[in-house]
Amino acid sequence: MRPPKYLGVYSQPLTKADGPRKMFFFVWELAEGDYAVQRLDSAFQPREKARRVSAARFAAYFRAESAILAMPMTMLDVRALAGFSAAPAPAAPASRIPKVDDILLRRLENARRAKQTEVTLRENFRKALLRLKRPRERQAAIAALEQMATATENISPVHKHMFRDFGAKLRKTAMPDLALLFGRRALDLAPEDDHAHFNLARILCALGAYDEAAEHIRTAMRLDAREAIYPRMLAHIRKEKQLRLGTNRPRQRR
């Protein structure tokens, strides 16, 4: 069965005392021909759980909002949709000790959710980078990236590599302010990861925050004293700081 296909933001008319308004929804097309809709708040963040609607009802009441570029931060969990039929699991006695199979299944489910989340975020990141190149969509793309950097649903330490990749990509595309958000997020997820400290230091150096960059490099060196690139990066940061100070120093009159 193919996974749900995200279609974008759709709306429904909403009449209020001071005039007509709209309700906005994330919308996915389901494999069975129905649709999943999730109501959004004014900041285009989910305010309710997703629910299933029939194709006929969807065609009658929902309208596409192609100018709105908001995207969900996590993949839709089809099994949680209203109307999904599944046999309820039998209640376990309070004193029951989880079996090895139960623990393994939970770990597999957590790994599946983490993978789904990463696939969704990487695709959203790719689309946002494309929109950055379009002047009319640039601000919306920046807002989407800022939202992505603060995503929390189904995020775990295994996603440190993903956030680190996002930060490195944005640094290379000369967007260090956005890169910093992802660099700090990677470090939050893995504070003892020397690579996370190193990549954050590179971003801070690009922003001219040389002292903080040097602190992170020294931490990376403490975590892995055998990595030869860390001392070279520290020397580079010191050199960049000296050059900046020399450039900003007022010239003396002769």
- Is 33 contained in some domain? yes
Amino acid occupying residue 48: E
- Is 229 contained in some domain? no
Q: Write out the residue range of the structural domain in which residue 45 sits.
A: 1-68
Q: Counting runs of H as helices and runs of E as strands, what totals does the chain give?
A: 8, 5
- Is 189 contained in some domain? no
Tell me which residue of 8, 195, 71, 173 sits closest to 183, measured CA to CA: 195
What's the predicted TM-score (pTM) here? 0.61
- Is 8 contained in some domain? yes
Per-residue pLDDT of the chain (254 residues; tens, 9 = 90+): 567 888 889 999 876 655 568 899 999 888 878 899 999 988 888 888 899 999 888 988 899 887 787 778 777 877 777 554 433 444 445 455 555 567 777 777 777 888 888 889 999 999 999 999 999 999 999 999 999 999 888 898 989 999 999 999 999 999 999 999 999 999 999 999 999 999 999 999 999 999 999 999 999 999 999 999 999 999 999 999 999 887 666 555 54
- Is 43 contained in some domain? yes
- Is 46 contained in some domain? yes
Helix (H) / strand (E) element for 29: namely strand 19-29
- Is 238 contained in some domain? no
Counted domains in the chain: 1
Q: Cα(first)–Cα(last) distance of the chain, in Å?
A: 80
Tell me which residue of 128, 28, 40 sits closest to 78, measured CA to CA: 28
